[in-house]
Amino acid sequence: MSSGGCKVIGVIVFLIGLSSAGQADFCEDLEIILDSAQDGFGEVRGELISRHLDPLSDTRVIWQCTLALTGAKTCEVEWRRYSYSYNTFWHKQSEEANAEAFAALAELLDGCGLIRKQASKSGRSLWVVVEDETNLDIVLAHNDRRVRLSCTTSGFPNP
């Protein structure tokens, strides 16, 4: 690996909290999560957190994750409107730190073979895809309070 590649991994290790084998571990965990999308993330759904009926007669069901990506502070699997979403959140100390963590996570996703499709005009969110996967939307986004990686698959009735 070139010295530039080592610097990038060093920055990622610091920003996201990866171990020295971090890229491979991150990609393996991400693969497990993405593979579990076929059954509504059943393999990574843990304890039921809440079942909420909102004023528009829409049910929202949330489970804890049994597998969170490296360095994540919170993780949940959510069912809402025929879709399951695996949501992982990183909370850094400032907007700048969140922007740096966002960039580091984008590099990690590139290293895992995901394909960047489109970034928002603001540069605060990025849509990525897995080749040949037609029912999975993956969005990486950040704001001044957090970084969020959301993987969503649809076509599931109320659990």
Domain coordinates in residue numbering, the chain: 3-154
**pTM of structure:** 0.81
Query: Average per-residue pLDDT in the chain?
Result: 82
Confidence of residue 16 (pLDDT cuts 50, 70, 90): low
* pLDDT recorded at residue 70: 84
Joined together, the tokens standing for residue 126 give 């990025």
Confidence of residue 54 (pLDDT cuts 50, 70, 90): low
Confidence of residue 20 (pLDDT cuts 50, 70, 90): very low
The CA-CA-CA angle for residues 8, 87, 137, to 5°, reads 85
